[in-house]
Amino acid sequence: MIDLQGTSFIGHARSTGSEAWTSAVNPATGEKLDPAYLAATDEEVEKAVSLAAAAFPSYAALSGAERAVFLRAIADKIEASVEDIVARGPLETGLPEPRLRGETARTCGQLRMFAGLIEDGSWVDARIDRAQPDRQPLPKPDIRAMLVPLGPVAVFCASNFPLAFSVAGGDTASALAAGCPVVAIGHVGHPGLAEIVGSAIVAAARETGMPEGVFSLLFGGGRSTGRKVVAHPAIKAVGFTGSRQGGTSLMELAAARPEPIPVYAEMSSVNPFVILPGALAKGEEALAEAYFGSLTLGVGQFCTNPGLVFLPTDAGEAFLAKLSEMIGTAGSATMLTAGIASAYGEACEHFAGHPGVKTLARGEGASAPALFEVSATDFLGDEALQAEAFGPAALVVRGSLPEITRAIAGLEGQLTATLHATEDELAAQPELVAALRSRCGRLLFGGFPTGVEVCASMVHGGPYPSTSDGRSTSVGTLAITRYCRPAAWQGFPDFALPPELREANPLGIRRIEG
């Protein structure tokens, strides 16, 4: 197993770190794990960001093919470290080995996906309007535009996906693909995994001749080290996956800078799940079993677990009976951290103590699944009932279809929304469908929202507060646009243009030409 050192990566070098930060804790046993991790000093934070700023011009100038070599090398190095990952990961997170192997594959797959995207090169959205010097009443100049990278990006690692949304996750992959150096901030819940993956990225950077500073990994926590990174004037964007409190805090910090910068934060989502009578008629118990699997997947610690069910008042009794039976006999499981487990327990007690909420079933143990029911009237009367219970808890809202439609229209922004219905019901409920569409980034007809496909058409985002900017996605190739801006060249001679915009189109990319 890799010899973990408990120190940050400042470019290609290890930090010395002068201040104790944390030790990873086994969430199943409470045991502290070696080594103790040291916080990066203020000087080391400054050096990491300064190195990123110095690396940006040369890294951004590399061709897509050259950056693709780097991304594929990272994937290769991570795959070579998989035995270290599956040895350390369960100790830090309580996640089983198969989950960690699967997440490793997903992480490497998305790195290679972005490598293919930038190798092709068409993603820059090149647009060409040629000069018309004889146009009347005024000549038209030659104008050419494309997307260009923003600059160094701060990436905050997530608690619930220690690989796919962390050190080398989607934020890092898309930023590096765009041409932006990354300064990553390790998560307190899994610093050992962060160090393993950080080692792989640094080794890949050295092997492929990337400029020092293209990647750094800092320990010290988001509230301390992370805030220092975001406040640094050289940082041009932020990627974050975590709590609403953490995300909004970063948004406020970034907006208050002398030069405000975008924060792409994925935050809270309860993922409404609507069931109409036609879907129930196909088999209520089977639907309950499938829903239970989605609700409890990963102990309910996925951002897409469907925690809010809308069910007509006069339907679904067999569905609820089967679901209550399964939840009532379910046991407790280890959650990612003691803090997450505590917050989940508090959320369940909030629901259980609400005067309008009925407890239908609760499993055995503090982190066991729970099922609650409330009328649409009471739900509409209390916004607090929309709050996310991060874990395997579901709130069932019963009401008429008009009440359900009004309740959905009043929801906060969500990552996903799911409708189980027949095609005839789908056609007959345009207002319900429109309400769902307005509230989410991904709308499902049938199926379950857990399981986010990594592909070109995936949208893993949604209106606030599911994300800070509903125009973006943190999964799929569209994610690369978060770390770019459009830039235009007017009147430039051909030789001085980027290859993507030259008249001969030497890269052979798709372009919009006028």
> Rounded to an integer, what distance in angstroms lies between the CA atom of residue 163 and that of residue 201?
13
Domain with 87 in it: what CATH number?
Answer: 3.40.605.10
- Which H or E run includes 349? helix 338-353
Q: What is the pLDDT of residue 16?
A: 84
Asked if 395 and 376 sit in the same domain, the reply is yes
**One domain for residues 198 and 99:** yes
Q: How far apart are CA 226 and CA 52, in angstroms?
A: 15
Please provide the DSSP assignment of 415-473 as one string. Answer: EEEEEE--HHHHHH-HHHHHHHHHHEEEEEESS-S-S---STT-----STTTBS-TT--
CA–CA gap between residue 8 and residue 441 (Å, rounded): 35
- State residue 398 phi and psi, 5-degree precision: -105, 135
Which helix (H) or strand (E) segment holds residue 402: the answer is helix 401-409
DSSP states of 264-317: EEE-----EEEE-HHHHTT-HHHHHHHHHHHHHGGGG-STT---EEEEETTS-H
Residues of the chain with pLDDT under 50: none
Same domain, 95 and 148: yes
Same structural domain for residues 231 and 377? no
Closest CA to 77 of 273, 223, 208, 252: 208
ω into 35 cis (within 30 of 0): yes
Q: Which of 119, 266, 388, 403 is catalytic?
A: 266
- How long is the chain? 514
Helix-strand-coil percent breakdown of the chain, rounded to 5? 45, 20, 35
CATH number, domain with residue 361: 3.40.309.10
Whether residue 227 lies inside any domain: the answer is yes
Final residue belonging to a domain, choices 445, 460, 484 = 445
Number of domains into which the chain is organized: 2
Cβ(280)–Cβ(315) under 8 Å?
Answer: yes
Close Cβ partners of 289 (under 8 Å, ≥ 6 residues apart): 322, 326
Side chain identity at residue 496, one-letter code: A
In a domain, 136, yes or no: no
Same domain, 298 and 423: yes
Tell whether 455 is covered by a domain.
Answer: no
Which of 182, 175, 174, 183 has its CA nearest to residue 114?
174
Residue 455 annotated in active site:
no
Same domain? For 221 and 286 the reply is no
To the nearest 10 degrees (0 to 180), the angle between helices 97-120 and 64-80 is 170
Residue 398: how many CB atoms within 10 A of its CB?
A: 23
Give the DSSP letter of residue 161: -
CA-to-CA separations, 488 to 259, 261, 366, 471, in angstroms, rounded: 22, 21, 57, 22
String of b and e for 70-102 (b: at least 16 CB within 10 Å)? bbbbbbbbbeebbebbbebbbbbbbbeeebbbe
- Residues 69 and 153 both lie in one domain: yes
- Classify residue 207: in a domain, yes or no: yes
Over residues 386-410, the pLDDT tens digits come to: 999 999 999 999 999 999 999 999 9
- What are the pLDDT digits (tens) for 163-200? 999 999 999 999 999 999 999 999 999 999 999 999 99
Residues 94 and 232 in one domain: yes
Residue 56 confidence (pLDDT)? 98
- What SS3 class is residue 41? coil
Phi–psi pair at 215, nearest 5 degrees? -150, 135
**352 and 331 Cβ atoms separated by less than 8 Å:** no
Is the residue at 289 inside a domain? yes
Examine the domain organization and report whether 223 and 329 are in the same domain. no
Q: What are the tokens at 311?
A: 């069910």
Is 4 a member of any domain? Answer: no
Could you check whether the bond before residue 355 is cis, i.e. omega within 30 degrees of 0?
no
Residue 102 shares a structural domain with residue 32 = yes
Which pair of tokens denotes residue 360?
């239908």
Active site residue 108: no
In whole angstroms, what is the distance from residue 5 CA to residue 7 CA? 6
Residue 461 lies in a domain: no
Task: Say if 349 falls within a structural domain.
Answer: yes
The predicted model scores a pTM of: 0.96
Helix, strand, or coil (residue 159):
coil
Report the distance separating Cα 417 and Cα 405, nearest Å: 13
The parent domain of residue 71 ranges over 9-131+141-267+469-501
**Given 108, 303, 348, 484, the catalytic residue:** 303
- The tokens of 170 are what? 């989607």
Of 304, 308, 310, residue with least CA distance to 274: 310
CA gap 127, 143 in Å, rounded? 8
The residue assigned the tokens 């492929």 is 208
CA distance 66 to 510: 19
Q: How far apart are CA 165 and CA 473, in angstroms?
A: 13
In whole angstroms, what is the distance from residue 88 CA to residue 92 CA?
Answer: 7
pLDDT of residue 395: 98
Both 157 and 127 in one domain: the answer is yes
Closest CA to 3 of 101, 89, 84: 84
State residue 2's pLDDT score.
84
| 261 and 127 part of one domain | yes
Q: 70 near 173, Cβ under 8 Å?
A: no
Prior bond of 465 cis (ω within 30°): yes
